[in-house]
Amino acid sequence: MLDLIVRYLHEAMIPFRLSSYPSMEHLPKAVQPLPKHAVLVESQIVLIGDKLALLCFVASDQVDLSALANELDAAVIDATEDDLPEALKRGGAPPPLGQLFGLPVIVDERVTRAGSVVFQPFGESDFVELPYDDYARQEQPRVASFVRAGELPEHAAAKPATPAR
């Protein structure tokens, strides 16, 4: 898959950075600091009506298929492995490069505010960074609002009120 992604990006003349931080140790996991202007994204393949599409969204967010269905005025469900193109049946999340697989891309509006997108196509220690403008030029995504934020971190949870005296 790596050679396919690299060839695709080279042919599209998209500048990119590929970083890998493999570790022989199970823990602690290597951490890649993201540039200030970058956002880590994930992708998911869905069926819109009877057509496949690739969703691209901020990694900390959760996809709300109902919100997407309302925005598109169409039925939206998760794709099953049987629905996927052969190249994507390897398991794991697909890279957010829908044009590579002949799929239209729908990007959540929060991703459009980033200077670059970073994704992990091969595992937790591998990173590909692309400038968002070049990504959008190549993928020609439809922009929609289809995520809901995740839960508050534990330290931000509300504290119990102290009784008045």
What DSSP string describes the chain? -HHHHHHHHHHTT---EEEE---SSSSSPP-PPPPTTEEEEEEEEEEETTEEEEEEEETTSEE-HHHHHHHHTS-EEEPPGGGS-GGGTTSSPPPS-GGGGT--EEEETTGGG-SEEEE-SS-TTEEEEEEHHHHHHHH-PEEE--EE--PPPGGGSPPPPPPP-
Contacts with 114 (C-beta within 8 Å, 6 or more apart), sequence order: 37, 38, 39, 132
Determine which of 23-32, 40-49, 75-84, 120-129 has the lowest per-residue pLDDT on average: 23-32
pLDDT tier at 164, thresholds 50, 70, 90: low
Q: Which residue has the higher pLDDT, 135 or 94?
A: 135
pLDDT at 60: 87
Q: Is 141 inside any structural domain?
A: yes
In a domain, 42, yes or no: yes
Residue 165 covered by a domain: no
Cα gap 121→4, rounded to integer Å = 11
Q: Which residue has the higher pLDDT, 159 or 142?
A: 142
The pLDDT score that the predictor gives to residue 132 is 97
Check: CB of residue 135 under 8 Å from CB of residue 14: yes
The size of the chain, in residues, is 165
pTM here is 0.81
Q: Which domain holds residue 122?
A: 2-19+36-147
- Average pLDDT value for the chain: 85
Q: Residue 139 contacts by C-beta under 8 Å, 6 or more apart in sequence?
A: 96, 97, 98, 99, 105, 107
Residue 143: inside a domain: yes
Residue 157 lies in a domain: no
Q: pLDDT band for 138, please (50, 70, 90 cuts).
A: very high
Q: Which residue has the tokens 């939206």?
A: 76
Question: Is 132 part of a structural domain of the chain?
Answer: yes
CATH code of residue 79: 3.90.960.10
Q: What is the mean pLDDT of residues 32-48?
A: 89
In a domain, residue 160? The reply is no
- The total domain count for the chain is 1
Q: How far apart are CA 18 and CA 130, in angstroms?
A: 9
104 part of a folded domain: yes
**148-160 tens-digit pLDDT:** 865 655 665 555 5
